[in-house]
Amino acid sequence: MPVHLVESFTSLQGESTHAGRVCHFLRLAGCNLDCSYCDTRYGRSFEAGRPAAVDELVKLALDSGVKLVEITGGEPLATPETPELCRRLLDAGFEVLLETNGSFSIAAVPREVRKILDCKLPGSGMFAANDFVNYELLAPHDEIKFVISDRIDFDCMLEVIRKYDLERKCRNLLASPVWGRVEFAALAAWIVDARAPVRMQLQMHKQIWGDRPGV
């Protein structure tokens, strides 16, 4: 399967513990899931964008003049070449972030890559797709992101954290409200009241630029 590139752009990182940092993004095409709140549907098809070789993707990152690169999608691990791309970027001196939906094994991804692993909750419609074995493969710098649609999702997050002992396994547990579905103050109150061991995050890029792609 050739790599299909949907977007290559430099912007601020809008999510994760790296929010606010200048970052170059490589958005790969194709996703195996269909989350109810997906905000990158233009990248879901495996034929979206254009074919691109790994060499070209590395050059795009080098030409950006930025040393932080995120590989995102779509779902980048649906592209078999993604682990090789990660290694090539690391070898070129980049700090590499990988945003993945949690349904593919991260075993082949170089350990030095900072994986941002989604845990799909019931409101996404994709909870059954989670590969919970990934939680045994996490490095200390990796992150798990819970996207919260409602109180059911929040309670499910707490149960997943408890069941898989994530407070011990992952120091970066993130809770993010689905844009337009959950009031920021409501999620903040749930987190405080539950003394949840998570970091609340907001999608900084949407607050600045809205839903425009490529920013």
Return the CATH architecture of domain 4-209: Alpha-Beta Barrel (3.20)
Percent of residues, the chain, with pLDDT higher than 70: 96
Q: What is the DSSP string of 146-164?
A: EEE-SHHHHHHHHHHHHHT
Grade residue 213 by pLDDT with cuts at 50, 70 and 90.
Answer: low
How far apart are alpha carbons 199 and 68 in whole angstroms? Answer: 22
Query: For residue range 27-58, what is the model confidence (pLDDT) as tens digits?
Result: 999 999 999 998 888 999 999 999 999 999 99
Widest CA span of the chain, in angstroms? Answer: 49
Confidence at residue 180, expressed as pLDDT on a 0 to 100 scale = 85
What average pLDDT does this structure show over 183-209?
91
What average pLDDT does this structure show over 142-169?
97
The pTM assigned to this predicted structure is: 0.92
- Residue 96's Cβ-side half-sphere holds a number of Cα atoms within 13 Å equal to 26
